[in-house]
Structure 1
Amino acid sequence: MIEMREPIIVEFPLRGEWLSPNTPGTKIPSHGTNKLGTRYAYDFIQVDWERKGLPAYRVSFLQYLIFGVPVNEYYCWGKEIYAPCDGTIVKAEDGYKERTRTKLLSDMSNAYKNAHYFDPKKDDEQSVAGNYVIIESSKNLYAALCHLQKGSIQVSVGQNVKKGEVIGRIGDSGNSLAPHLHFQLMDSSDISTAKGLPCAFEEYELFKNSAWVKVRNGIPKYKDRIRFQ
Protein backbone atom coordinates (compact mmCIF):
# COMPACT_ATOMS: atom_id res chain seq x y z
CA MET A 1 0.00 0.00 0.00
CA ILE A 2 1.42 3.34 -1.11
CA GLU A 3 0.80 5.20 2.15
CA MET A 4 2.62 2.50 4.12
CA ARG A 5 5.86 2.75 2.12
CA GLU A 6 7.65 4.88 4.71
CA PRO A 7 6.26 3.74 8.06
CA ILE A 8 7.78 4.61 11.42
CA ILE A 9 9.76 1.63 12.73
CA VAL A 10 9.20 0.42 16.30
CA GLU A 11 9.81 -2.78 18.24
CA PHE A 12 7.04 -5.36 18.44
CA PRO A 13 5.28 -4.77 21.80
CA LEU A 14 4.59 -8.42 22.71
CA ARG A 15 6.40 -11.74 23.11
CA GLY A 16 5.41 -15.15 21.77
CA GLU A 17 3.04 -15.97 18.87
CA TRP A 18 0.35 -13.55 17.70
CA LEU A 19 -2.28 -12.84 15.06
CA SER A 20 -3.54 -9.42 13.99
CA PRO A 21 -7.25 -9.51 13.06
CA ASN A 22 -7.20 -5.76 12.38
CA THR A 23 -4.08 -4.48 10.66
CA PRO A 24 -3.14 -1.76 8.13
CA GLY A 25 -1.29 -4.52 6.31
CA THR A 26 -4.67 -5.72 5.05
CA LYS A 27 -6.88 -2.64 4.94
CA ILE A 28 -6.74 1.10 5.65
CA PRO A 29 -8.31 2.39 7.81
CA SER A 30 -7.63 -0.80 9.70
CA HIS A 31 -10.56 -0.33 12.09
CA GLY A 32 -13.00 1.10 9.56
CA THR A 33 -12.62 4.68 10.75
CA ASN A 34 -10.01 7.45 10.95
CA LYS A 35 -11.35 8.66 14.31
CA LEU A 36 -9.41 8.40 17.57
CA GLY A 37 -6.06 7.99 15.78
CA THR A 38 -6.96 4.49 14.59
CA ARG A 39 -6.24 4.77 10.85
CA TYR A 40 -3.13 2.53 11.04
CA ALA A 41 -3.88 0.77 14.33
CA TYR A 42 -3.21 -2.89 15.07
CA ASP A 43 -5.08 -5.39 17.23
CA PHE A 44 -3.19 -8.44 18.51
CA ILE A 45 -4.61 -11.68 19.90
CA GLN A 46 -3.37 -15.20 20.54
CA VAL A 47 -5.19 -18.16 19.00
CA ASP A 48 -5.15 -21.94 18.87
CA TRP A 49 -3.59 -22.55 15.46
CA GLU A 50 -4.74 -26.19 15.50
CA ARG A 51 -8.46 -25.52 15.98
CA LYS A 52 -10.90 -24.68 13.20
CA GLY A 53 -11.61 -20.98 13.04
CA LEU A 54 -8.51 -20.10 15.07
CA PRO A 55 -10.39 -19.37 18.31
CA ALA A 56 -8.81 -16.98 20.80
CA TYR A 57 -10.38 -18.80 23.78
CA ARG A 58 -10.12 -22.24 25.37
CA VAL A 59 -13.84 -23.07 25.51
CA SER A 60 -16.13 -24.33 22.73
CA PHE A 61 -17.60 -22.02 20.09
CA LEU A 62 -21.11 -22.90 21.30
CA GLN A 63 -20.27 -21.75 24.82
CA TYR A 64 -18.78 -18.54 23.41
CA LEU A 65 -21.91 -17.88 21.35
CA ILE A 66 -24.50 -18.65 24.03
CA PHE A 67 -22.90 -17.89 27.38
CA GLY A 68 -19.88 -15.79 26.53
CA VAL A 69 -16.39 -16.53 27.83
CA PRO A 70 -14.64 -15.53 31.09
CA VAL A 71 -11.77 -13.23 30.14
CA ASN A 72 -9.23 -15.52 31.81
CA GLU A 73 -10.14 -18.23 29.27
CA TYR A 74 -8.61 -16.14 26.48
CA TYR A 75 -5.05 -17.14 25.60
CA CYS A 76 -3.67 -13.60 25.60
CA TRP A 77 -5.34 -12.28 28.74
CA GLY A 78 -2.74 -11.15 31.28
CA LYS A 79 0.23 -11.39 28.89
CA GLU A 80 2.90 -8.75 29.37
CA ILE A 81 3.07 -5.68 27.12
CA TYR A 82 6.42 -4.05 26.34
CA ALA A 83 7.38 -0.50 25.37
CA PRO A 84 7.81 -0.38 21.57
CA CYS A 85 10.23 2.55 21.76
CA ASP A 86 12.25 4.71 24.11
CA GLY A 87 10.32 7.65 25.44
CA THR A 88 8.47 9.36 28.24
CA ILE A 89 5.14 8.31 29.69
CA VAL A 90 2.69 11.16 29.13
CA LYS A 91 -0.50 9.29 30.06
CA ALA A 92 -1.05 6.19 32.19
CA GLU A 93 -4.74 5.72 32.92
CA ASP A 94 -5.60 2.76 35.13
CA GLY A 95 -8.53 1.85 37.39
CA TYR A 96 -11.16 1.49 34.66
CA LYS A 97 -13.42 -1.47 35.39
CA GLU A 98 -12.61 -4.51 33.29
CA ARG A 99 -15.43 -6.82 32.23
CA THR A 100 -15.14 -10.35 33.57
CA ARG A 101 -16.84 -12.11 30.65
CA THR A 102 -17.27 -11.42 26.94
CA LYS A 103 -20.82 -11.25 25.59
CA LEU A 104 -20.82 -11.23 21.79
CA LEU A 105 -23.93 -9.22 20.87
CA SER A 106 -23.75 -6.57 23.60
CA ASP A 107 -19.98 -6.15 23.13
CA MET A 108 -20.39 -5.72 19.36
CA SER A 109 -23.12 -3.13 19.90
CA ASN A 110 -21.00 -1.16 22.36
CA ALA A 111 -17.94 -1.34 20.11
CA TYR A 112 -19.84 0.04 17.12
CA LYS A 113 -21.39 2.83 19.19
CA ASN A 114 -18.07 3.89 20.71
CA ALA A 115 -16.16 3.74 17.43
CA HIS A 116 -18.66 5.74 15.38
CA TYR A 117 -20.45 8.02 17.84
CA PHE A 118 -17.76 8.95 20.37
CA ASP A 119 -18.06 12.62 21.30
CA PRO A 120 -14.85 14.00 22.86
CA LYS A 121 -16.83 16.89 24.39
CA LYS A 122 -18.95 14.64 26.61
CA ASP A 123 -17.65 11.05 26.43
CA ASP A 124 -14.93 9.62 28.67
CA GLU A 125 -11.77 8.69 26.75
CA GLN A 126 -11.47 5.56 28.86
CA SER A 127 -14.82 4.30 27.59
CA VAL A 128 -12.94 3.66 24.35
CA ALA A 129 -9.32 3.07 25.38
CA GLY A 130 -9.99 1.44 28.74
CA ASN A 131 -6.82 1.33 30.81
CA TYR A 132 -4.07 2.68 28.59
CA VAL A 133 -0.55 4.04 28.31
CA ILE A 134 0.76 6.70 25.94
CA ILE A 135 4.49 7.08 25.33
CA GLU A 136 5.96 10.22 23.80
CA SER A 137 8.78 9.00 21.56
CA SER A 138 9.63 12.37 19.99
CA LYS A 139 7.89 15.55 18.95
CA ASN A 140 4.55 14.73 17.34
CA LEU A 141 5.09 10.99 17.75
CA TYR A 142 3.17 9.05 20.38
CA ALA A 143 2.55 5.35 20.94
CA ALA A 144 -0.75 4.26 22.50
CA LEU A 145 -1.31 0.82 24.05
CA CYS A 146 -4.93 0.25 25.04
CA HIS A 147 -7.41 -2.08 26.79
CA LEU A 148 -4.97 -3.08 29.53
CA GLN A 149 -5.88 -5.19 32.53
CA LYS A 150 -7.08 -3.15 35.49
CA GLY A 151 -4.29 -2.66 38.01
CA SER A 152 -1.57 -3.94 35.68
CA ILE A 153 0.05 -0.69 34.55
CA GLN A 154 3.63 -0.53 35.84
CA VAL A 155 4.63 2.96 34.67
CA SER A 156 3.62 6.48 35.67
CA VAL A 157 3.41 9.88 34.01
CA GLY A 158 6.82 11.53 33.61
CA GLN A 159 8.72 8.25 33.78
CA ASN A 160 11.32 7.55 31.09
CA VAL A 161 11.08 4.08 29.58
CA LYS A 162 13.35 2.03 27.36
CA LYS A 163 12.31 -0.09 24.44
CA GLY A 164 11.41 -3.56 25.71
CA GLU A 165 10.49 -2.47 29.23
CA VAL A 166 7.30 -4.04 30.65
CA ILE A 167 4.53 -1.47 30.96
CA GLY A 168 1.42 -3.55 31.74
CA ARG A 169 -0.68 -6.57 30.83
CA ILE A 170 -3.33 -7.37 28.23
CA GLY A 171 -6.89 -6.95 29.44
CA ASP A 172 -10.41 -6.34 28.17
CA SER A 173 -11.19 -2.82 29.35
CA GLY A 174 -12.91 -0.10 27.35
CA ASN A 175 -14.16 -0.54 23.78
CA SER A 176 -13.13 -4.18 23.38
CA LEU A 177 -14.86 -7.28 22.02
CA ALA A 178 -12.42 -9.59 23.79
CA PRO A 179 -9.00 -9.44 25.47
CA HIS A 180 -6.42 -8.05 23.06
CA LEU A 181 -3.79 -5.36 22.66
CA HIS A 182 -4.75 -2.33 20.60
CA PHE A 183 -1.62 -0.52 19.41
CA GLN A 184 -1.25 2.66 17.38
CA LEU A 185 1.10 5.54 16.65
CA MET A 186 -0.34 9.08 16.65
CA ASP A 187 0.67 12.70 16.10
CA SER A 188 -0.78 13.81 19.45
CA SER A 189 -1.20 12.51 22.98
CA ASP A 190 -4.92 13.32 22.80
CA ILE A 191 -6.61 10.17 21.48
CA SER A 192 -9.87 12.02 20.86
CA THR A 193 -8.32 14.32 18.23
CA ALA A 194 -5.08 12.57 17.16
CA LYS A 195 -4.31 11.45 13.62
CA GLY A 196 -2.93 7.96 13.18
CA LEU A 197 0.59 7.42 11.83
CA PRO A 198 1.76 4.37 9.82
CA CYS A 199 4.19 2.04 11.54
CA ALA A 200 6.03 -1.24 10.99
CA PHE A 201 7.90 -3.57 13.32
CA GLU A 202 11.67 -3.72 13.12
CA GLU A 203 11.85 -7.48 13.55
CA TYR A 204 9.62 -10.53 13.97
CA GLU A 205 9.24 -14.00 12.50
CA LEU A 206 6.56 -15.20 10.08
CA PHE A 207 5.46 -18.84 9.87
CA LYS A 208 5.50 -19.61 6.15
CA ASN A 209 5.70 -22.92 4.31
CA SER A 210 6.08 -24.82 7.61
CA ALA A 211 9.08 -22.76 8.71
CA TRP A 212 9.79 -19.56 10.64
CA VAL A 213 11.17 -16.78 8.42
CA LYS A 214 12.71 -13.61 9.83
CA VAL A 215 11.02 -10.36 8.77
CA ARG A 216 12.54 -6.91 9.16
CA ASN A 217 10.58 -3.65 9.09
CA GLY A 218 7.45 -5.67 8.45
CA ILE A 219 3.71 -5.03 8.55
CA PRO A 220 1.75 -8.15 9.51
CA LYS A 221 -1.28 -9.05 7.42
CA TYR A 222 -4.53 -10.64 8.54
CA LYS A 223 -4.02 -14.29 9.47
CA ASP A 224 -0.22 -14.01 9.44
CA ARG A 225 1.20 -16.24 12.17
CA ILE A 226 3.94 -14.15 13.70
CA ARG A 227 6.19 -14.36 16.73
CA PHE A 228 8.74 -12.26 18.53
CA GLN A 229 11.02 -13.51 21.29
Structure 2
Amino acid sequence: MTTLQHTPTAELPPGGGPVLWLDVSFRQRAHPPHQLVHRIVFTEFSRPQRRGIVNGTRTQVSSRAPVVLGPPLLGAGYVDGNGCCGESAHTRALLTIDGRRYLAQRYAIDWNRLDRHGRSFVGDPAKNEDYLIPGDPVIAVASGVVIATRNDLPENTPPHSIPNLTVQNAFGNDVIEALGGGRYAGYGHLQPGSVAVHVGERVHRGQFLGRVGNTGSSGGPHLHFQLTDGPNVLASNGEPYVLRTSNQPARLSDSTMPPAR
Protein backbone atom coordinates (compact mmCIF):
# COMPACT_ATOMS: atom_id res chain seq x y z
CA MET A 1 0.00 0.00 0.00
CA THR A 2 1.26 3.48 -0.85
CA THR A 3 0.21 7.07 -0.42
CA LEU A 4 -0.98 8.99 -3.46
CA GLN A 5 2.63 10.21 -3.73
CA HIS A 6 3.77 6.55 -4.04
CA THR A 7 5.36 6.40 -0.57
CA PRO A 8 4.98 2.93 1.04
CA THR A 9 2.86 3.06 4.19
CA ALA A 10 0.67 0.98 6.50
CA GLU A 11 -0.84 4.00 8.26
CA LEU A 12 -3.63 6.34 7.18
CA PRO A 13 -3.74 9.93 8.45
CA PRO A 14 -7.14 11.58 9.01
CA GLY A 15 -8.59 12.43 5.62
CA GLY A 16 -5.82 10.53 3.85
CA GLY A 17 -6.31 8.31 0.85
CA PRO A 18 -3.92 5.44 0.01
CA VAL A 19 -3.57 3.21 -3.02
CA LEU A 20 -3.41 -0.57 -2.61
CA TRP A 21 -1.56 -2.17 -5.53
CA LEU A 22 -2.40 -5.82 -6.21
CA ASP A 23 -0.89 -7.94 -8.96
CA VAL A 24 -2.88 -11.19 -9.05
CA SER A 25 -1.69 -13.95 -11.38
CA PHE A 26 -3.42 -17.20 -12.34
CA ARG A 27 -2.24 -20.34 -14.05
CA GLN A 28 -2.93 -20.43 -17.77
CA ARG A 29 -6.00 -22.69 -17.54
CA ALA A 30 -7.26 -21.43 -14.19
CA HIS A 31 -10.63 -19.70 -13.95
CA PRO A 32 -10.48 -16.26 -12.32
CA PRO A 33 -13.42 -15.24 -10.15
CA HIS A 34 -16.25 -13.23 -11.70
CA GLN A 35 -16.09 -10.64 -8.93
CA LEU A 36 -13.60 -9.26 -6.41
CA VAL A 37 -14.34 -7.86 -2.96
CA HIS A 38 -11.74 -6.02 -0.89
CA ARG A 39 -11.96 -6.72 2.84
CA ILE A 40 -9.91 -4.25 4.88
CA VAL A 41 -9.01 -4.87 8.51
CA PHE A 42 -7.72 -1.86 10.44
CA THR A 43 -6.94 -0.65 13.96
CA GLU A 44 -7.34 2.85 15.38
CA PHE A 45 -4.35 4.72 16.81
CA SER A 46 -6.38 5.78 19.85
CA ARG A 47 -7.70 2.26 20.50
CA PRO A 48 -5.17 -0.21 19.07
CA GLN A 49 -6.82 -3.12 20.87
CA ARG A 50 -9.92 -2.74 18.72
CA ARG A 51 -10.19 -3.86 15.12
CA GLY A 52 -12.46 -2.56 12.41
CA ILE A 53 -13.49 -4.35 9.23
CA VAL A 54 -14.67 -2.74 6.01
CA ASN A 55 -16.02 -4.75 3.08
CA GLY A 56 -15.65 -2.85 -0.18
CA THR A 57 -18.04 -2.86 -3.10
CA ARG A 58 -18.01 -5.77 -5.54
CA THR A 59 -15.83 -5.26 -8.60
CA GLN A 60 -16.63 -7.13 -11.81
CA VAL A 61 -13.73 -9.00 -13.41
CA SER A 62 -13.53 -8.55 -17.17
CA SER A 63 -13.67 -11.78 -19.16
CA ARG A 64 -12.77 -10.12 -22.46
CA ALA A 65 -9.70 -11.70 -24.04
CA PRO A 66 -6.73 -9.46 -24.89
CA VAL A 67 -6.72 -8.23 -28.47
CA VAL A 68 -3.95 -9.50 -30.76
CA LEU A 69 -1.96 -6.69 -32.40
CA GLY A 70 0.92 -6.38 -34.79
CA PRO A 71 4.16 -4.71 -33.66
CA PRO A 72 4.37 -0.88 -33.79
CA LEU A 73 7.97 -1.14 -35.06
CA LEU A 74 9.69 -3.47 -37.51
CA GLY A 75 13.21 -4.82 -37.30
CA ALA A 76 15.59 -6.17 -34.69
CA GLY A 77 17.04 -4.88 -31.44
CA TYR A 78 13.90 -3.36 -29.94
CA VAL A 79 13.45 -3.65 -26.19
CA ASP A 80 10.35 -3.34 -24.00
CA GLY A 81 10.81 -0.73 -21.28
CA ASN A 82 8.39 -0.17 -18.38
CA GLY A 83 6.08 -2.88 -19.70
CA CYS A 84 3.55 -5.02 -17.88
CA CYS A 85 3.59 -6.30 -15.24
CA GLY A 86 4.91 -5.65 -11.75
CA GLU A 87 6.01 -2.24 -10.51
CA SER A 88 7.10 0.31 -13.12
CA ALA A 89 6.65 3.94 -14.08
CA HIS A 90 3.67 2.89 -16.20
CA THR A 91 1.84 0.47 -13.92
CA ARG A 92 1.93 3.04 -11.09
CA ALA A 93 1.02 6.08 -13.23
CA LEU A 94 -2.33 6.71 -11.51
CA LEU A 95 -3.74 10.13 -12.43
CA THR A 96 -6.67 12.09 -11.04
CA ILE A 97 -8.42 14.06 -13.78
CA ASP A 98 -11.68 15.95 -13.17
CA GLY A 99 -12.20 14.09 -9.90
CA ARG A 100 -11.76 10.57 -11.30
CA ARG A 101 -8.72 8.30 -11.19
CA TYR A 102 -7.31 6.70 -14.31
CA LEU A 103 -4.48 4.29 -15.12
CA ALA A 104 -4.11 4.69 -18.87
CA GLN A 105 -0.54 3.36 -18.93
CA ARG A 106 -1.18 0.06 -17.13
CA TYR A 107 -0.09 -1.97 -20.19
CA ALA A 108 1.97 0.73 -21.95
CA ILE A 109 5.44 0.05 -23.33
CA ASP A 110 8.35 2.41 -23.92
CA TRP A 111 10.04 0.94 -26.98
CA ASN A 112 13.74 1.54 -27.45
CA ARG A 113 16.43 0.04 -29.67
CA LEU A 114 19.77 -1.40 -28.57
CA ASP A 115 22.86 -2.44 -30.47
CA ARG A 116 24.59 -5.79 -29.91
CA HIS A 117 26.48 -4.27 -26.97
CA GLY A 118 23.27 -3.31 -25.17
CA ARG A 119 23.62 0.41 -25.90
CA SER A 120 20.74 2.71 -26.86
CA PHE A 121 23.10 5.52 -27.86
CA VAL A 122 26.70 5.90 -29.04
CA GLY A 123 28.29 9.27 -28.36
CA ASP A 124 26.73 12.15 -26.46
CA PRO A 125 23.65 11.18 -24.37
CA ALA A 126 22.47 14.81 -24.57
CA LYS A 127 22.08 14.61 -28.37
CA ASN A 128 19.01 12.95 -29.88
CA GLU A 129 20.93 12.12 -33.05
CA ASP A 130 23.38 9.93 -31.11
CA TYR A 131 20.61 7.50 -30.11
CA LEU A 132 19.80 4.48 -32.24
CA ILE A 133 16.02 4.77 -32.42
CA PRO A 134 15.18 8.35 -33.56
CA GLY A 135 13.54 8.42 -36.97
CA ASP A 136 12.59 4.74 -36.98
CA PRO A 137 9.24 4.20 -38.76
CA VAL A 138 6.19 3.73 -36.53
CA ILE A 139 3.45 1.56 -38.04
CA ALA A 140 -0.17 0.81 -37.22
CA VAL A 141 -0.67 -2.23 -34.97
CA ALA A 142 -4.11 -2.90 -36.47
CA SER A 143 -6.55 -1.45 -38.96
CA GLY A 144 -8.63 1.44 -37.67
CA VAL A 145 -9.52 5.13 -37.96
CA VAL A 146 -7.27 8.03 -36.92
CA ILE A 147 -9.17 10.20 -34.41
CA ALA A 148 -6.42 12.59 -33.25
CA THR A 149 -2.91 13.69 -34.18
CA ARG A 150 -0.33 16.23 -33.10
CA ASN A 151 2.71 17.20 -35.12
CA ASP A 152 4.04 20.57 -33.91
CA LEU A 153 5.93 20.04 -30.64
CA PRO A 154 9.73 20.45 -30.79
CA GLU A 155 12.22 17.78 -29.77
CA ASN A 156 13.42 17.73 -26.16
CA THR A 157 17.11 17.76 -25.22
CA PRO A 158 17.97 14.63 -23.18
CA PRO A 159 17.60 14.10 -20.30
CA HIS A 160 15.12 16.98 -19.99
CA SER A 161 11.38 16.69 -20.60
CA ILE A 162 9.19 19.37 -22.14
CA PRO A 163 9.05 22.66 -20.17
CA ASN A 164 5.64 23.57 -18.73
CA LEU A 165 4.31 20.01 -18.86
CA THR A 166 0.50 19.76 -19.12
CA VAL A 167 -2.03 17.01 -19.81
CA GLN A 168 -2.36 18.46 -23.32
CA ASN A 169 1.33 18.11 -24.27
CA ALA A 170 2.43 15.12 -22.16
CA PHE A 171 2.01 12.60 -25.00
CA GLY A 172 4.05 14.74 -27.36
CA ASN A 173 3.45 14.51 -31.08
CA ASP A 174 1.15 11.56 -31.50
CA VAL A 175 -1.34 9.49 -33.42
CA ILE A 176 -4.48 8.13 -31.73
CA GLU A 177 -6.23 5.33 -33.60
CA ALA A 178 -9.70 3.87 -32.90
CA LEU A 179 -9.52 0.11 -33.41
CA GLY A 180 -13.18 -0.64 -32.73
CA GLY A 181 -14.72 -2.49 -29.82
CA GLY A 182 -13.95 0.37 -27.44
CA ARG A 183 -10.18 0.10 -27.91
CA TYR A 184 -7.81 2.94 -28.81
CA ALA A 185 -4.13 2.70 -29.77
CA GLY A 186 -1.83 5.58 -28.85
CA TYR A 187 1.59 6.21 -30.42
CA GLY A 188 3.42 8.96 -28.53
CA HIS A 189 6.55 11.18 -28.49
CA LEU A 190 6.87 11.22 -32.30
CA GLN A 191 9.27 13.44 -34.24
CA PRO A 192 7.93 16.89 -35.17
CA GLY A 193 6.69 17.01 -38.75
CA SER A 194 6.81 13.22 -39.15
CA VAL A 195 3.13 12.36 -38.65
CA ALA A 196 1.89 11.11 -42.03
CA VAL A 197 -1.83 10.54 -41.37
CA HIS A 198 -4.77 12.83 -40.68
CA VAL A 199 -7.90 12.75 -38.54
CA GLY A 200 -10.63 10.67 -40.16
CA GLU A 201 -8.22 8.63 -42.26
CA ARG A 202 -8.75 4.88 -42.30
CA VAL A 203 -5.43 3.10 -41.89
CA HIS A 204 -4.48 -0.54 -42.24
CA ARG A 205 -2.21 -2.70 -40.12
CA GLY A 206 1.44 -2.04 -40.94
CA GLN A 207 0.80 1.41 -42.47
CA PHE A 208 3.39 4.11 -41.81
CA LEU A 209 2.17 6.63 -39.21
CA GLY A 210 5.23 8.70 -38.25
CA ARG A 211 8.72 8.45 -36.82
CA VAL A 212 10.13 7.81 -33.35
CA GLY A 213 11.11 11.03 -31.57
CA ASN A 214 11.57 12.68 -28.20
CA THR A 215 8.66 15.06 -27.60
CA GLY A 216 6.28 15.72 -24.72
CA SER A 217 6.91 14.06 -21.35
CA SER A 218 10.06 12.29 -22.53
CA GLY A 219 13.67 12.45 -21.41
CA GLY A 220 15.10 10.42 -24.28
CA PRO A 221 14.10 9.17 -27.74
CA HIS A 222 11.64 6.26 -27.64
CA LEU A 223 8.19 5.20 -28.79
CA HIS A 224 5.49 5.16 -26.14
CA PHE A 225 2.72 2.76 -27.17
CA GLN A 226 -0.45 2.07 -25.21
CA LEU A 227 -3.92 0.60 -25.66
CA THR A 228 -6.80 2.18 -23.73
CA ASP A 229 -10.57 1.95 -23.33
CA GLY A 230 -11.10 5.61 -24.26
CA PRO A 231 -9.83 8.18 -26.77
CA ASN A 232 -8.15 10.40 -24.17
CA VAL A 233 -4.56 9.20 -23.69
CA LEU A 234 -4.59 10.08 -19.98
CA ALA A 235 -8.28 10.11 -18.93
CA SER A 236 -8.86 6.44 -19.77
CA ASN A 237 -7.78 3.03 -18.53
CA GLY A 238 -5.27 0.65 -20.04
CA GLU A 239 -6.37 -2.44 -21.97
CA PRO A 240 -4.30 -5.64 -22.23
CA TYR A 241 -3.04 -6.86 -25.60
CA VAL A 242 -0.84 -9.50 -27.20
CA LEU A 243 1.75 -8.69 -29.87
CA ARG A 244 1.91 -11.03 -32.85
CA THR A 245 5.52 -11.05 -33.99
CA SER A 246 8.09 -13.51 -35.28
CA ASN A 247 10.86 -12.03 -33.14
CA GLN A 248 12.28 -14.16 -30.37
CA PRO A 249 12.11 -12.48 -26.95
CA ALA A 250 15.13 -12.20 -24.66
CA ARG A 251 15.57 -10.91 -21.13
CA LEU A 252 17.81 -7.86 -20.75
CA SER A 253 20.14 -7.97 -17.75
CA ASP A 254 21.91 -4.63 -18.21
CA SER A 255 22.04 -1.82 -20.74
CA THR A 256 22.66 1.85 -21.34
CA MET A 257 19.19 3.35 -21.58
CA PRO A 258 17.87 6.93 -21.76
CA PRO A 259 15.48 8.32 -19.13
CA ALA A 260 12.20 7.46 -20.86
CA ARG A 261 8.83 8.40 -19.37
Q: Root-mean-square deviation (CA), in Å?
A: 2.7
Deviations 1:99-142, CA, capped at 9 Å, x for gaps: 2x313xx44xx79x96xxxxxxxx3422x100000000003110
Q: For residues 223 and 140 of structure 1, what CA distance do their matches in structure 2 show?
A: 36
Which secondary structure does the structure 2 equivalent of 1:203 belong to? coil
1:44 has 2:118 as partner: no
Percent sequence identity over matched residues?
Answer: 26
Give 1:31 deviation, angstroms. Answer: 4.4
Give 1:32 deviation, angstroms. Answer: 2.6
Cα 1:26/1:11, change in 2 over 3 Å: farther
2:122 to 39, 58, 71: 58
Superposed, which structure 2 residues align to 1:133-148 within 5 Å?
133-148=175-190
Q: For residues 184 and 249 of structure 2, what CA distance do their matches in structure 1 show?
A: 30
1:2 has 2:25 as partner: yes
Residue identity opposite 1:142 in structure 2 = Y
Q: For residues 4 and 138 of structure 1, what CA distance do their matches in structure 2 show?
A: 29
Q: Name the structure 2 match of 1:204.
A: 246
- Structure that is richer in helix per residue: 1
Q: For residues 142 and 48 of structure 1, what CA distance do their matches in structure 2 show?
A: 31
Number of aligned pairs?
Answer: 187
Q: Is the 8 A contact 1:28 1:40 kept in 2?
A: no
Superposed, which structure 2 residues align to 1:70-85 within 5 Å?
70-85=127-142
Residue identity opposite 2:121 in structure 1 = Y
Which secondary structure does the structure 2 equivalent of 1:205 belong to? coil
Give 1:4 deviation, angstroms. Answer: 11
1:97 has 2:139 as partner: no
Give 1:83 deviation, angstroms. Answer: 0.3
Q: Is the 8 A contact 1:24 1:41 kept in 2?
A: yes
- Normalising to structure 2: TM-score of the pair? 0.64
Give 1:2 deviation, angstroms. Answer: 3.4
Q: Is the 8 A contact 1:82 1:164 kept in 2?
A: yes
* Highest RCO, 1 vs 2 (Cα 8 Å, sep ≥ 6): 1
**Runs of at least 5 residues in structure 2 that lack an aligned partner in the other structure:** 1-23, 29-64, 96-102, 255-261
1:20 to 63, 80, 95: 80
Give 1:28 deviation, angstroms. Answer: 6.5
Q: Is the 8 A contact 1:10 1:200 kept in 2?
A: yes
Residue identity opposite 2:198 in structure 1 = S
Q: Is the 8 A contact 1:4 1:199 kept in 2?
A: no
- Structure that is richer in strand per residue: 1
Larger radius of gyration: 2
Q: Name the structure 1 match of 2:257.
A: none
Which secondary structure does the structure 1 equivalent of 2:115 belong to? coil
Give 1:8 deviation, angstroms. Answer: 1.7
Which secondary structure does the structure 2 equivalent of 1:72 belong to? helix
1:184 has 2:226 as partner: yes
Cα 1:23/1:207, change in 2 over 3 Å: closer
Deviations 1:18-65, CA, capped at 9 Å, x for gaps: 011211155477443244610110111011232xxx221011xxx53x
**Runs of at least 5 residues in structure 1 that lack an aligned partner in the other structure:** 115-122, 209-220, 225-229
Q: For residues 239 and 92 of structure 2, what CA distance do their matches in structure 1 show?
A: 15
Q: For residues 132 and 92 of structure 1, what CA distance do their matches in structure 2 show?
A: 5
Cα 1:102/1:31, change in 2 over 3 Å: farther
Cα 1:187/1:79, change in 2 over 3 Å: same
Which secondary structure does the structure 1 equivalent of 2:146 belong to? strand
1:155 to 181, 191, 197: 197
Q: For residues 147 and 186 of structure 1, what CA distance do their matches in structure 2 show?
A: 17
Residue identity opposite 1:148 in structure 2 = L
